[in-house]
Structure 1
Amino acid sequence: MDINKNVESPFKLKISFDKLLQHYKNFTKSTNAHRAAKAKHIVTIANTYPELKKGFSDAGILKKREREINEILEDAFNPILTKNEIKTASIPFQNLIFNASERFKNIIKAAGKDFKLEIKNMPKDDTYIVACTLILDFYYGYNLNFKRPFYYEIPDAHGITRFYKILYNADFTEIVPNTNAPKITQKDYDELLDNFENIALWKEKFPPNSYTFKGFVISNIFDVTDDQSISNVKSSLIADDKRKDVDFMNGFHEIFRSLFGINDLKVGFSIYNKEDGIFERVYGAGMKSYLLGQHEHEKCTNALCRWSYNRLLKEKKYFSISNVNRVFNKVKTGVPHIKSLHDQGIKSAVFAPIANDSGVMGILEIVSSKPQMLNSINANKLVDVMPYIVTAVERSKNDEENLIEAIIQKECTSIHPSVHWRFAREARDFIKAEMKGEQAAFKKIAFQNIYPLYGQIDIKGSSKARNQATKKDLSLQLSAVKNIFLKASKVESLPIYQQYIYQINNCLTELNDDFKVDSEQQISDFLNQEIADVLKHLSSIAALKQAIDSYFGSIDSKVKALYNHRKDFDDSIALINKEMASLLDKKQEEAQTMYPHYFERFKTDGVEHNMYIGESITKEKNFNLIYLYNLRLWQLQVMCELENAYYQMRSRLPINLDVASMILVFNQPLSISFRMDEKQFDVDGTYNARYEIVKKRVDKAYVKGSTDRVTQKGKISIVYSHKQDEMEYLRYIRFLQSKNYLDTDIEIVELEDLQAITGLKAIRVSVLYHKNKADKSFYTYNDLMKTIKA
């Protein structure tokens, strides 16, 4: 079989021993009789079989002339060293090995019948180009310095991957151009230098089979498993998002198995929380802690004995347990980490502190299910890898701290991603000023000429509903106390009981007839500060004990009051806010892809949101009013969807509540700036402040000449002050009517004047609802309520 068949290469390969034979030809004249005699013998072999000198491409000749080739290569493959050296004779870029040392043969045999030998870090797509660089180097004399180490990965008899570095001896090779080889000029060379990955260009300069490679290479191979394992540890720890990748720990186990030569070895980690004096589990895919076992965290003094505690956390030194069972049988449950290992079926282990100059950050845990596999001797292998682990943990801690700060910023401040670029720019300027030794100051963050949008979905009558829930809870609590005192007066006829009953009756009357802002607090103080101690005293009376125990059992431990109806109200509000805010946030992500803008929302008794859009916010894109109009239409549509989402979830609420939606239209652009003291954006200037005043008061405004609020359940109210806004939104409404979002009952109303603000109007229109997501019918609010009640 031709060794060049089915192989695309710039080389036509020919196996030849010519250059090696030239050395033996010179040795025939040696004064060393033994050397001369051997050289003459080898020259005779070459003369007898000229193909060994001339070269051949037929792989069959290797088998046919195996004995002669072995004799020619005997000095290179010294039989005395053959069981120690790892060496092969082969041709480049193919796994065609025609001579090998005994040790290499044994390594391949141990790898198993299915093992296929190949160079792991030689991409197949690069083989052609690498061959071309050899031509540039060997034939044209260009020093490309392309030499790089190549490796084999070969499993041993235990299945542990071992790494072997290959060093080539190319002294016995020569490269000559064929007739179809274009001559490479300096211009060609310069072009190739900048086009390593352009395979078409390389094939143009070095066509297939345009050069003859004659000779063979000797590969000197070295076991570098320890060095490569250390390198792999370093590479693995450099990778980002390690905890999220389920394959990371599997790969990490394999690396340490190669380093220690133990096929069942596993690696675990524990975080050391110095502030709380505890070990904590590392959360991530495949992460385990063999020190903690099934516990999420544990006091250090409970996880370690005194000696191991001092060894790891004080001395910052590793220790090993070579036979866990033997130690456990001696100490039983007296040593916590031994018990933890024993319970997990671990037979030997090494614990090593991950520590820097600041102290211990965590514990590296290496374990095996076999005794004595891990011990104080092979534990020394950790010396070379611990610096990389320490560096990785330091970086991880810094990343975690940065992540914590990012979450705090995201969840607790108003720095929206759309304006983050501006804060980042000012922060960079701040850092530059500090580095130059100048007086650094964080400049004012402001955006001019931007358009505001405001909307809210508010819980209708929330104050009234909250008061009703409060009345019901207090009435039940007062009635329960009154019944206890009525029973007490039958047991003991004391006037003080009648006094308490009188006070309770007054409280019940106040609840029903004259409930004030401070009524709740006054009644709660009366029950907690006066009545509670009396009831505790009366609980010693057998006839009253059950009733009093039942009363205290009904009191919520946090609010120290009966908290049933109010809890239903608070839970309803919380659920409404959560659902509405979640849907709004999801919709907002879609809106940002249309055109970047600032967005913020607030949870009150309902959900409010502010949006600002304009060129000064976007940084890069050119702003056009079409994007404002688009966002206004989007906002109106989303408010309809929020209304629908609410009434579809209403049946899941502990109490029934209604919502009313409103949009405020502000026609003129304004300026906003970030207030460092309050960590939020606010409008700039006296004129712009009018917008904030309207926002705070308009939902409580009345329709002129009536007692109706501008916002109504089942309707969306769009508040505005200019005729052009009215015309614009009527267009949006007509469009949404065609999409069955809105009903046809449009009304335009004037609002009563607010403080220093006149001329406001509102468009009100009913929302069309669906009973659920699968429902295709459309209902008005009244229709929906009738359907729900039916």
Structure 2
Amino acid sequence: MKDINDGFYLPFKIKIGFQVLLDVYNQLTLNDHQLHRKKQLEHLVETHPELIDGFSNINDLERLNEPIQYILEDVFSDVLTLNEIKTASVIFHNKIFKSSQRFKNIIKNAGDTFQLNIVNLPENDQYILSCAIILNEYYGYQVNFKRPFYYEIPDKNGLKRTYKILYNADFVNIIKTDAAPEISRLDYEYLIDNFNDLEIWQEKFPPNSYLFYGFVIGNMVDVTEDQAISNIKASLIANNKQEKDLFINNFQEVFKSLLNVSDLQVGFSIFNKEDTSLIKVYDAKINSFLLQKDDSQCCTSLFCSHSFHSLIKDKNYYSISNVSDAFRLSYGDSPQLSILHSQGIESAIFAPISHEGQLLGILELVSKKPFELNSFKAYKLEDVMPYIRLAVKRSQEEEQNQIQAIIQKECTSIHPSVQWKFESAARHYMYETQHHNVKARFKKINFKNVFPLFGQSDIVGSSKERNEATKKDLLLQLKLIKQTIILIVEIVENSALKNTLSQLNHFEKELNEDIQVNTERDFQLFFKNEIEPLFDSQKNNHKNTTSYVDRYYEKLDPELKTIYYYRKNFDESVSAINEDITKVIDIRQLGAQKDYPHYFDRYKTDGVEHNMYIGEAITKEDSFKTEHLYNLRLWQLQTMCEIETTIEKNNDAYPMALQIASMILVFNQPISINFRFDEKQFDVDGAYNASYEVVKKRIDKACIKGTEERVTQAGKISIMYAQDDDAEEYKKYINFLQSKSFLNNDLEFLELENLQGITGLKALRVGVNYKLKVPKKYFSYNDFQELH
């Protein structure tokens, strides 16, 4: 005989019973059908009184399966059984005694070995949350313990799906036994400050001292996509300065809503592991309630030994629900309590922000009211901590990037493949300075007879899309201004407002016709110099217009003071696409460098372009062969295919659906390159090699001969060349990659219109197979030769 409570350690015993459900029938005005059903249910429970008395024997669940299914028919609709993901069970237990057909199908697809468990509910939390249920349901104390719970269930393909569980406890009754001590208000206040102290909860709520009678209904929602979107959003927090400032400004409001604390204030301090101190943030509009006016403080002077160990060593939350009481009981000897008490703070949560075991900083949440912040509220932070960690980590990375930018400004960023030549020149420079005591010059850095490779993944129609986004934002703002003025004019007679309205109609017509280079700047000046003073004047002189003006300002971006919706979507999409492109090419470059070292750099614009140079002069070894050049060309073509498929697969995740066009320039003659110290980058050396740079800068504007169609097109790779031998070489690469499903069978041979200073160019153009899965390994030139 096995009891449903076996293996469970909770403050209550569980009994399955249906009295609460049957009581619902007694409270309803029933029709003839429902009266007939009620009589049948009454007869059923007379035959099986344990359905009312309650039972916990699992064997009884099987024995009473048929009457249980009948009792629960009204709760489970046959019509929705393939739509709803629904179960009837007991709390914290995976013993389900009725479920919808869709749930059964999901479990069946998961396989025979799958065990259903809530993924974000540790065993200790089950006991404490059970106590919280008792505090709420039996004693009426308001403990806001609710947070979403999830199942992770593999589908028939083995991919994990995430299901959010919504519990309905309408058919539950909590019963106190003689073994349960009474819970006073002081007990409650003490308990909510000690969420993680299991022993305290067990003392106030001994095991099995209450009875949990009834059952719960679990409704599940598939939130796999939502979870994925949340992760994407988390990775984009503070993606640039504008978003970072906006995030910080909204930080406080987000936490007010999350924790339901109206006067909540947020602070933050950076942890310096070198001297175990906290440092104030200088580049953010955020305070530190621990540091106050100090720039930094040693952690041992900010915290008592207990809080220091909890926060800094164990990286656990530290909460104080009643600062005044705690300060009085500590006789003023606790540093953090003295700091908070001096500022009139009555409750606080300190949350350590860590990444991969390293403490990054301390999040400070404070309130002027006691009990507003406590250990239960700290528990709710778990759902937003991933976002905070990523934001802080990104902030640190940005700081490191700024440091690198300074270094690059004073020195330069040197690719490892050419590091040796710069070191040699530096040694020569030092020698000349020290031994000859003359004003030495840094030796010229150049590489002769290297083969160039150039590629570009450009966002299609980026200028047009940016202009369209700008136009939409400006038109929307004009519309809002017009609506606001019309509402004001109904209250206040003002000729200036009517003149402005006429001017706005003119601007709107002008904007619909065309958008010029200076349009955005001119409109912003108009909004700032004309509209803002006009609206501010109305607010000051006519209080009954204030709500209309405020409503207008609320819809503007708080930093830019303008509508920034469509442009933001465009900017974020370009940024995300560039990140995805660079991620592919940077990862694949690691393998390419192992095959044979070569120079590589890339630049982000509306897309990403990259340059490579390969040859004997760069490697400083007598090992270069033309096969190494062919291998790199084949690598480049495969990389462009992967970039295309990556952007296509990720397109739904971007705020705007944008496409890229890929292009490769083939230059079959070796050239010489020279490092330009003023520009901190390599460039061609000499007039003979200048044609290569000219072609690079103009080639993406090339059109097919006799048409106005650009050769670069979305979903295709265009390979520009001048010599027929190059076309033959790349045609073989294309045929090879078509056989490996990288490319479609739609190869085109195109002649191009002459560009300024450029004649005789041609192109191969071929479509990318978007069904291509990310290849684990690229094909090498040796692989290619084996088939030829």
Q: TM-score, normalised by structure 1?
A: 0.49
Q: If the length of structure 2 is used for normalisation, what is the TM-score?
A: 0.49
